[in-house]
Amino acid sequence: MNRRDALGRVGLILGGTIIGAEFFMSGCKSGSTVNTADLAKPETTAFLDEVGETILPETSTPGAKAAKVGAFMAVMVRDCYTEADQKVFQEGIGKLDEASSKKFSKKFMEATAAQRTELLTELDKEAKDYAKKRGADIDADKLKHKDEKDYKGADIPNHYFTMMKQLTLLGYFTSEVGATKALRYVPVPGKYVGDYPYKKGDRAWALS
Amino acid sequence: MANFNIDSKSERTFDAIVIGSGMSGGWAAKELGDKGLKTLVLERGRDVKHNKDYPTTNMYPWEFAHHGQVTAEIREANPIVNRCYAFGEDAMHFFVKDKEHPYVQEKPFDWIRGYQVGGKSLLWARQTQRWSDFDFDGPARDGFAVDWPIRYKDIAPWYSHIEKFAGISGNLDGIAELPDGEFLPAFPLNAVEQRFSKHVKQHYQNRHVISARCAHLSKPNQIHFDQGRAQCQKRTLCQRGCPFGGYFSANSSTIPWALKSGHVTLRPFSVVESIMYDEKLGKATGVRVIDTNTKEAIEYYADVIFLNAAALNSNLVLLNSTSSRFPNGLGNDSGTLGKYVAFHNYSAHINAEWDGDKEWTTDGRNPAGGGYIPRFRNVYKQETDFLRGYAAGFSAYRYRETSSDGVGEDLKKNLVNDSLSGWKVGSHMMGETIPKKSNYVALDKSQKDQWGIPLLKIAVEYDDNDAKMKKDYVEQMTEMFTSAGFTNIKASTDNRAPGLDIHEMGGVRMGNDPKTSMLDKWHRLHACQNVYVTDGASMTSTSCQNPSLTYMAFAARAVDHAVSESKK
């Protein structure tokens, strides 16, 4: 890899943001007190599979469940998240279920596909608003610290749904079905063409 | 131990010993083997055989447990090496982990190492530019360090020698400060890189944006097929080791070539404790090795010794090679051993946007990484309030830009659509730093490693010249980007420690005067003429080119000299 593409390995770049980067690059301590084994329980991965499938459903190409994003989320949260993020994620599962109960008087797993989509669309908006406010709070906190060198970053957690969505996207688009069926995956390009006409509407390339 | 056959001294005697099997050691081994010398190559780490020992090279992203990410546990256990851009789930097995081989940071220094056959040549960024006399003249003209005892004409044939065998792609650009070489076809610049290249050529004197020259087989020749290598397939997964041998590494090229000669023996798991010196003979007689598995100390003997342990470890070996003749380290009559260490300053970047050429994109992946801007500051005369200058990378790219709002079918449709952003451009600085006595490495007085070898203490830091140069890079690039019509220009600087550039150099510098330098113009220790040091340790100054090509040329030239001396 070239030094210049260092970003590429961190995760997918989508919509101008690097998916997953802020979780994987954070320097906080893990050494967790959160029981991440719970995440690997079949009922939890099944739950996360359905969350993922609602975010990226099966269409003409397989959905997130076919890419086993539930198990992927469990592994990534257990191994790659900091303790603080693990806690937010784990509590998020309960919160999501609670939101479903409140809205539909049904747990998430019992809700219909349409209800799930409706709920997660709301949560997506909530998470986006939260992220905006979080960004502003962090900027304000930065201003309070004059010497950037010693600034460790504000300790403001992310929204649990941001985590679930980003892990779904990362897991899906780097999975076999996501990379090869939904995207164009070329492990061995064999060529580099510097000037290539851009045609809008092509399928996007998967990470190598 | 009977199996080892190390009991007999004759079994442990060679014509030549090479300490280190990486970028420069591999070349010493190859050249010695080609010339028929019975050679022992010592490597402190494990063997890494081409292809056979690249465990991740053909893995798909989904075959990695974390799809390429580094786990929290590994990140936290390795704050130093985790800062390296190439340290990921796919290549971490080729990096030294922080706790495996401790060192003492008197000042913060990110020492990035690869302890295995091939060393860091498996992991390098593969950028290869020649030096010119604008570089070799630097210390003498600008009054720092000591004068280089060689000039471009001394090294030029050896650059050619290396380039033909290693395979370097590039254009004949005709730039005096970045001499042309024996090139395979260059990788192309994309639409915006070309645009900027033309703009700079038209509007600036002595500034150039060229296709980065790199050690990739864009179009292999017979000599590359003879090595068992094939055309670069543009996977850009180089850090895993390349199954095609598409880029140059010691593992794919020099080491197997050397072994094929029949004259070279490779001994992994062999950390060199010291070089032995015989006062009566007035020369080095061999090396003392510790087998890292058995912890047994073994002595090997040879007429000539090549020290290629990578810059700072070559310092360590000499510092630890003491005798009554050399109480402060082998060959250290000048007192300069371990001092005048320098590096490259990579701590500034700049990004911007270009609102045009949207009908163009690229296809495939560019192993060269894009454009290269040779040093343009203080080349023909001193023109700034700082010494020397910087090279810069330059690349243009488009990324997938699409809404990731919402959930469900629309989101999926948006994300799989190759809807590209406008062009983004980026550049990073590669600055020369000035070697100083106060930037040094030394043996720690009390702490030792698991083999009883003192730990290396590193005290290296930036100076005021670096700060001024960094500021100038930001100013000049901002001005060039502005005049090219780029918008939303954002410069960023970071506070990285030295070392993360992975271009640490010096400590065993070359020079004409034995009173102020360690090595002569042939890379021999002034005071112990059968020991050659031809890796980064030998650098009198750093200039700003990526240094590996120069180390390789030094190694080949030094072997040629050693062999011709032995025939006298």
pLDDT above 70 coverage of chain A, percent: 80
State the pTM of this model.
Answer: 0.94
pLDDT at position A22 is 56
CA of A163, closest CA in chain B: separation in Å? 14
pLDDT top residue among A72 and A135: A72
Q: Tokens 């402060």 map to which residue?
A: B328
pLDDT digits (tens, 9 = 90+) for B14-24: 999 999 999 99
Number of structural domains in chain A: 1
B105 inside 8 A of chain A by CB: no
**Region B504-518 average pLDDT:** 98
Domain extent at residue A113: 14-20+33-124+159-182
Residues B428 and B438 in one domain: no
Q: Give me the torsion for CA of B169, B173, B175, B179, rounded to 10°.
A: 30
Residue A1 has pLDDT above 50, yes or no: no
A87: left (phi over 0), alpha (psi -120 to 50) or beta: alpha
Q: Comparing A159-163, A201-205, B90-94, B309-313, which segment has the lowest mean pLDDT?
A: A201-205
Interface contact flag, B67 A82, Cβ < 8 Å: no
Helices in A18-82 by DSSP H: which ranges?
21-24, 42-55, 69-80
CA distance B300 to chain A (A): 38
Looking at the fold, whether B493 and B516 belong to one and the same domain comes out as: no
How many angstroms separate the CA of residue A11 from the nearest CA in chain B?
8
Q: How far apart are CA B437 and CA B459, in angstroms?
A: 10
Phi, psi angle pair for A7, to nearest 5°: -60, -40
Range of the domain at B479: 173-212+347-387+389-433+462-497
> Quick check: is A114 in a domain?
yes
- pLDDT beyond 50 at A168: yes
- The residues in B 382-411 lying below 8 A from A, measured between CB atoms, are 393, 395, 398-409, 411
For B36-76, what is the HEC assignment?
Answer: CCCEEEECCCECCCCCCCCCCCCCCHHHCCCCCCCCHHHHH
Residue ranges of alpha helices (H) inside B387-525 are 409-416, 464-483
Looking at the structure, tell me whether residues B56 and B201 fall in a common domain: no
Calpha distance A116→B426 (Å, rounded): 42
B446, B471, B497 — which closes off a domain?
B497
Task: Please give the DSSP secondary-structure letter assigned to residue B249.
Answer: -
Instruction: Report pLDDT digits (tens) over B277-294.
Output: 999 999 999 999 999 999
In sequence order, the 6+-apart residues with CB closer than 8 A to the CB of A189 are B233, B234, B235, B363, B364, B365
pLDDT value of position B140: 98
Residues of A in contact with B236 (CB under 8 A): 1-2, 5, 208
Q: What is the pLDDT of residue B418?
A: 77
Residues B452 and B369 in one domain: no
Which residue reads 């690097």 in tokens? A18
CA distance A181 to A168: 16
Domain membership flag for residue A150:
no
Helix (H) or strand (E) holding B455: strand B454-459
Strand ranges, E, within chain A: 13-14, 17-18, 192-197
Do residue B381 and residue B428 come from a single domain?
Answer: yes
Q: Which of A173, A180, A192 would best serve as a mutation to test chain B binding (most B beta carbons within 10 A)? A: A192
Q: Is there a domain that residue A6 lies in?
A: no
Res A125 pLDDT > 80: yes
Residues B95 and B225 in one domain: yes
pLDDT mean over B349-375: 96
| Residue B145 sits in the same domain as residue B179 | no
* Residue B126 and residue B56 share a domain: yes
pLDDT top residue among B320 and A202? B320
pLDDT at B24: 98
What is d(CA B145, CA B438) in angstroms, rounded to the nearest whole number? 12
Give me the pLDDT at residue A9, please. Answer: 38
Q: How confident is the model at residue A4 (pLDDT cuts 50, 70, 90)?
A: very low
Q: What is the mean pLDDT of residues A148-167?
A: 82
Tell me what the pLDDT averaged over chain B comes to: 96
In chain B, which residue's Cα lies nearest the Cα of A187? B235
* Least confident range of A111-120, B62-71, B186-195: B62-71
Q: Do the chains contact at B76 and A30, CB–CB below 8 Å?
A: yes
CB contact under 8 A, B365 and A208: yes
Do B241 and B332 fall into the same domain? Answer: yes
Which one-letter amino acid corresponds to residue B62? W
Instruction: For residue B350, give the 3-state DSSP assignment.
Output: strand
Regarding whether B297 and B420 lie in a shared domain, the answer is no
Do both B271 and B180 map to the same domain? no
Q: Give the count of alpha carbons within 13 A of B557, CB side only.
A: 24
Residues B94 and B187 in one domain: no
Provide the domain count of chain B.
2
Contact criterion met (CB below 8 Å) for B517 and B526: yes
Tens-digit pLDDT profile for residues B196-245: 999 999 999 999 999 999 999 999 999 999 999 999 999 999 999 999 99
**The CATH number of the domain where B13 resides is what?**
3.50.50.60
How many pairs of residues across A and B have Cβ atoms under 8 Å apart?
207
Whether residue A28 is predicted with pLDDT greater than 70 in this model: the reply is no
